[in-house]
Amino acid sequence: MKTRTLGRSLEVSAVGFGCMGLNFSYGHTLEKPAALTLLRQAFDAGVTFFDTAEAYGPYTNEEWVGEGLAPVRDRVVLGTKFGFRQGQLALGLDSRPETIRAVAEASLRRLKTDRLDLFYQHRVDPAVPIEEVAGTVKALIAEGKVRHFGLSEASAATIRRAHAVQPVTAVQSEYSLWWREPEQSVLPTLEELGIGLVPFSPLGRGYLTGAIDATTEFPRGDFRNTVPRFTPEARQANQSLVDQLAALAARRQVTTAQIALAWLLAQKPWIVPIPGTTKLNRLHENVGGAEVSLSREELAGIDAVLAATTVQGARYPAHLAAIVSNEEQSRGDSR
């Protein structure tokens, strides 16, 4: 697979692998042996960038990633995260220095490694100055326990403040054809400072693949059952966008998901999406998205569709929005 560089020096595969869904959040999860196999199949397909967090499980996702990739540890980049109390979203944020250090040590053990390649703050904690967070990670880098510092869903102002203390290598944020808010201020800031963007949910939590419509029923325990953007009414209202992407995909003889990933990759050379899946065929489909090149005319056509589209539904339920949403974004806005 082609590679891209995050920040000044972190080289990764052009498409990474978001590991969360292996056993967390989406209802259909894998048994551990199947998950370990899929992780190795991702590596064999050319993926060298794997994303996890202590909060996924909590804890078990890191353990599976560490075990599954142990034989190829020195040939992959592992990203993980700190920032929730005891690794549980429901308990709220916690980025105190002592917590960051404790999470780093625990993540090192679970991932079976001696260094964390990319250590993100999972969400900005308003109770702890970002300079204090960055300084703590800077010390961990000096100790050799962490290689690169990352932020997730941070505002442009927060990114600047953190970067002034410890250079930020990557910012992870939701970014896709149906969530473009980072274009307003985050992307210009990253370009100015030389920071990479790692889009999570680059396929709109599955909606942009074309495999979901208004009649789709999600399994019990699937996070999307609580998301306003995934109500049947919102899915019906948003169907036109997917239909138009599918038409382009048919002309190109690729899949709708590959068009969505190719669009992201075309935005900036320092963008590395991390789609997740539990299925081998979807894994190969996602990897293939890195080989799809869109022409100027095709990109202009997609932009015209997006300009005429207002995506319906907030991306998080109200009870989670204050914790997991970007500091700057307006709630429920399609951009």
Cα distances (Å, whole numbers) of residue 288 to 42, 149, 257: 12, 29, 10
**First-to-final CA distance of the chain:** 30
**Cβ neighbours for 80, distance < 8 A, ≥ 6 positions apart:** 51, 52, 53, 54, 62, 107, 111, 116, 118, 119, 120
> Closest Cα partner for 218 from 205, 208, 201, 236?
205
Find tokens 């199949």 and name the residue.
Answer: 41
Q: Are 159 and 194 in contact (CB under 8 A)?
A: no
Q: Are 149 and 141 in contact (CB under 8 A)?
A: yes
* 3-class DSSP string for 269-302: CCECCCCCCCCHHHHHHHHHHHHCCCCHHHHHHH
Q: Are 205 and 8 in contact (CB under 8 A)?
A: no
As a whole number of angstroms, the distance between CA 149 and CA 251 comes to: 41
How many CB atoms within 10 Å of residue 212? 19
Q: Which of 56, 120, 207, 316 is catalytic?
A: 56
**Cβ neighbours for 186, distance < 8 A, ≥ 6 positions apart:** 154, 155, 156, 159, 171, 173, 197, 326, 328
Number of residues assigned to the chain = 335
Residue 56 bears catalytic tag: yes
As a whole number of angstroms, the distance between CA 62 and CA 78 comes to: 10
Residues marked as catalytic: 56
